[in-house]
Amino acid sequence: MTAAGGGRSRLAVQVEGTTFLVEVDDRPAGGLEVRIDGQPVEVDARLPLSGAGSLLLDGVSYLVDVRDGRGTTEVVVDGEVLRVHVEGIAGRRASPPAPDGAGPGQRLTAPMPGKVAAVLVEVGQHVERGAGLVVLEAMKMENEFRATGSGTVSEIHVKPGQAVDAGDVLVVIA
């Protein structure tokens, strides 16, 4: 398990409806430093994109099986099936736009509970891939979410200061 691209990765990991902030940093001497909701956790993982793997979490070993589900990933841990959704986030830095070829039709949803710090677009506004849409404040961090493709903002479901839950629709681009 390595931090995506080296350095630091911040992920919103939703497990059965509960969202955790997972931060992964490369250690200078090698290995990883992992924090879940700000708490340091000792982790060693051999997790494939699909199939069997292992997870050592704070000294406890788990056998896991990763399966693609409908829209989410299913992870079987010691026989218990958990539905997991992972989304990358960044502390007030832009989340990376989708790869080239991503088209219109984005339905931006909140990856975790939080408060809308800013809405950066208006209904009817044309946006290009990578344009900032909404800033969400969650877990003492501000996260700017960007357009995955070009299109026109057709719906805005939030306003600054509004509290949102994980999964709430924020903005729709047609």
Return the beta strands (E) in 93-161 as ranges. 107-109, 114-119, 126-127, 132-138, 141-146, 151-156
Q: Is the pLDDT of residue 135 over 90?
A: no
Instruction: Output the pTM of the full model.
Output: 0.46
CB atoms within 10 A of CB 170: 20
Rounded CA separation 110/165 (Å): 7
Average pLDDT over the chain, rounded to an integer: 75
pLDDT tens, 1-21?
Answer: 434 445 677 888 777 767 778
Residue that wins the pLDDT comparison between 41 and 19? 41
Q: pLDDT-based confidence at 106, cuts 50/70/90?
A: confident
Specify the pairing of strand 169-173 against strand 107-109. antiparallel
pLDDT per residue as tens digits for the range 42-81: 877 766 666 677 777 777 777 787 776 655 677 877 677 8
